[in-house]
Structure 1
Amino acid sequence: MAIVASNNEPGITKEDGRYALPSTVEIELPAGYRPSSKDNEEYMNPRHLAYFRAKLRHWREQLVEESRQTMDNLRDEVRDVGDEAERATRETENSLELRTRDRYRKLISKIDKALRRIEEGSYGFCDETDEEIGLERLDARPIATLSLDAQERREHLQKQMGD
């Protein structure tokens, strides 16, 4: 379980063959960089981690901003609306906005957990099998914690249990 500095970058550590990227370490990526399994790069190397960290941070900022706008809209809304039908429509819209905001809150929590996994060196590896999740899957769903096989098994079990 040796921890060694890697890539001559201070702060980047490698433990049990996996890189950890502290939030204090910034890696400048080439313009348009996107990790690919075709590049023959080591899986979840510091550049991969920096790419996914930037992607997760950007997504988080978008969700926080949209939540802020939702709250501002609800706060600024005129409460004195006309008839009952208009009031019912407004209540339905507000309920939908609040459900969306709650969904964002849950997504932000998952993003924060993914960012912690990047710092700890466990990002990109399945929680159940410890196998690689895969660059393409993570690019599509950067908060994924399960490999595709493990996710399918879980969904199959849930279907059997009736959840």
Structure 2
Amino acid sequence: MLSTPEIITRPDQPFAAFRISLERTDIPSKAPPLLGEVAGWLATHGAAPAGAPFFSYLAMPEDGPLLMEVGFPTASLLLGDARVRTGIIPAGRFARLIHTGPYDGLYQANVALGEWLGKQGMAHPMPEQVPGEYEAALLEIYHTDPAAEPDPQKWETEVAFRLGR
């Protein structure tokens, strides 16, 4: 189930994440386990997640691997290292919707949000089309922890496309 899309404004969001390159088919098996590693890294650096985990898609070529980050928002900008990147997703306007259900529906949720923007006459650039790594962020924010809610029909994931400042 998809919520009604909307345009919102978000503030700057510091984060800590692993950056990975992988095929689309590998996302379900390779990306989620990295969240525990990022949480562990935060704990060893005296920090904690400041919100729900996310996937940020930085490059999505039609053929070949995606470039994405798997991480958590943080309360402030931390100093990364060779293992974990830190940075800021810049403030700006975002189109978003909430997908309720299993993760295998997220691709269609992304398509639906893009189609809604098209009907509004609003284009959203793909990340690899604009300068600045996060100027066109495509985010999936996982608001439901599957360990706390085992029923995938109740999982809520926010899909958000950054539209600019």
- Category of TM-score, reference length = shorter chain: under 0.3
**TM-score between the two structures when normalised by the length of structure 2:** 0.24
More strand by share: 2
Greater RCO (CA < 8 Å, at least 6 residues apart): 2
**TM-score between the two structures when normalised by the length of structure 1:** 0.24
Structure ID, larger Rg: 1
